[in-house]
Amino acid sequence: MPGSCYKRLVLDALAEDAPFGDPFGEAMTGEGKGIFFARGNGVFCGGPVAAEVFRSVDSSVVVNFVPEGYWATAGDQLGEASGPLSALLTAERTALNFLQRMSGIATLTFRFVEKVAPYGARILDTRKMTPLQRNLEKYAVRVGGGVNHRFSLSDGILIKENGIRAAGGIALAITAAKRAAHHLVKIEIEVETMAEAEEAVTAGADAILLDNMKPELVREVVERFGGTVFLEASGGIHLGNVEEYARTGVQAISVGAITHSASAFDISFELCL
């Protein structure tokens, strides 16, 4: 992930946390070193972003982390930062916030990917993300082994329930999308029944989102249309049932929870003077 994707965000985060400086941190003199430790098990993610936080406070800070995607167990040392104590104290919370959020997303994504791996299904993210942090959260999904869906509304057309209503129906929505898009844009549409799936295929959809369908129905749609269009299952899918959906043969499973509901991965930063 290029630094241009997060440098502005890092500066904004630091300005939010210390808008008028850090009175106590800036009163500390001398040099020090801090160690990052894992307080649980999970996938490490966000090292380049956390390093940028420290360097943005003071460019003399030296930061090193384990590789992105490293599987951490409780007690593992994940990295260290050394430099002026004032900079370490000012930067630590913002750096940890990025690390814990991104590692949490990568970890939850990995747990989904692990469940479906034997069946060849891909775990996709959605646009249910923290505003202005989409670059980081989609990156964390990739580190966890997931695959990014479209990045924005500009990248592809996914016609959901309200879009179908606005257009007046599935066929009309696909026709409108074909008129609006250039020839390289694929069109995906959401359906909830076999009849709607058939209508979408007939109307020329490139992909179909099988929304809130039971695994049994997903399997039927896969058997009927799997060789014709790209099929994606979504809605009501969690760690407890994702393997059942993967067994249907569906090509992809999108899970909003991997970003909107991922728990922070517990990481601590401890000074060692």
Q: Which residues are catalytic?
A: 93, 128, 160, 190, 211
Residues 6 or more apart whose CB falls under 8 angstroms from that of 244 comprise 215
Burial of 67 (0-12, 13-18, 19+ CB in 10 A): exposed
Q: How far apart are CA 30 and CA 93, in angstroms?
A: 20
Decide: 117 and 101 in contact? Cβ < 8 Å.
no
Alpha helix stretches (DSSP H) within the chain: 7-17, 23-27, 47-57, 85-116, 134-143, 161-167, 170-180, 194-203, 215-225, 242-246, 257-260
